[in-house]
Amino acid sequence: MKKMEKKYIPLAQFFETCTQGTFTLTYEEIQNIMGHELPNAAYLNVSWWKKTKAPSTHFFAWINCDYYVTNVTLGHSVTFSCAEQDVVSDDKPQSTYITRPIEANDARAYINLQEELFAQSPFGYYTPQERNLTVQQVRKTIADWRKDKTSTILICIYNGQFAGYTMLLGNTASRTKHIANVRIAIHNDFQQKGLATVLLKEAEKWARTNGISRLEASVTITNTIAHHLFDKLNYSKEGTRTQAIKIDEQFVDEVLYSKIF
């Protein structure tokens, strides 16, 4: 693959997984995939999208996968077509997703996603509006985690939408730096697509790369879907935390899982 600016690499990964002949992405969806804002030229000039000459490199994200820009509605959407595929047109790509580390520009979308997940899930620790995170707080946390390399958030973008994430919470103490707690959440609109499995496997890759050899997870005893996920990926049950969480005025136990690499 020809070199391009780092911020366009997630977009290139997205096109690598596309199998559809023709589809349209909004500007917001493209920026969701990238984790970065598009430059002003992308809003002002159709030529920015259709150029294929140096010194620009952004177009390699789709050209290297044999996709070409066929239509641009400035500031709104871009239509891509693949010369190698039978031309089957649709408004959206089909079942195309990527996972990537969270970026500072994702802070607002991440907060919104969390609030929706808090409202949907009966198993989480927080209720809606309880955390009151700010964009500045999230951006600072991202910056701190990148320095420590013990914690991270991996975002899943499905057809240009924020679908879910996995969070790895590590330790800075030298004797426990090899351990991280893993949490996974998938939006209801993107359930039963295998994304939780994808995110957990990506979390394991990140852990290995960053010197973490033990992952831990706490799962409420009633969360059968999560139990199936951790069992499927060969996590071990280590015990039960009695009355670990209180949901609707009822105490609920948690099962402790772990995996050692």
Comparing CA positions, the residue from 218, 224, 199, 221 lying closest to residue 258 is 218
Which CA distances in Å does 20 have to 8, 23, 92, 237? 20, 7, 9, 42
- 205 and 114 in a single domain? The answer is yes
The lowest-confidence range among 37-46, 85-94, 140-149 is 85-94
- 109 and 209 in a single domain? The answer is yes
Range 185-211 average pLDDT: 96
Q: Any idea what the CATH number is for the domain that residue 215 is in?
A: 3.40.630.30
Comparing CA positions, the residue from 184, 163, 164, 180 lying closest to residue 172 is 180
- What's phi and psi for 50, nearest 5 deg? -95, -10
Q: Establish whether the linkage from the previous residue to 55 is cis, with ω within 30° of 0.
A: yes
Sorting pLDDT into bands at 50, 70 and 90, what band is 2?
A: low
Which of 55, 82, 109 is the C-terminal boundary of a domain?
82
50 belongs to a structural domain = yes
CB within 8 A of 16, min separation 6: which ones?
65
Structural domain span for residue 23: 6-82
Range 19-24 average pLDDT: 90
- 67 and 163 in a single domain? The answer is no
- 177 and 200 in a single domain? The answer is yes
Number of domains in the chain: 2
- What's phi and psi for 213, nearest 5 deg? -115, 0
Over residues 83-128, the pLDDT tens digits come to 765 544 556 667 899 999 999 999 999 999 999 999 998 888 888 8
DSSP 8-state symbol, 104: G
Q: What 3-state class would DSSP assign to 201?
A: helix
Contact status, residue 21 vs residue 82, Cβ threshold 8 Å:
yes
Comparing CA positions, the residue from 23, 75, 72, 70 lying closest to residue 46 is 72
pLDDT at 192 over 70: yes
Joined together, the tokens standing for residue 185 give 């959440």
Contact status, residue 50 vs residue 79, Cβ threshold 8 Å:
no
How many alpha carbons lie under 13 Å from residue 14 in its C-beta half-sphere?
Answer: 29
- Whole-angstrom Cα distance, residue 103 to residue 219? 27
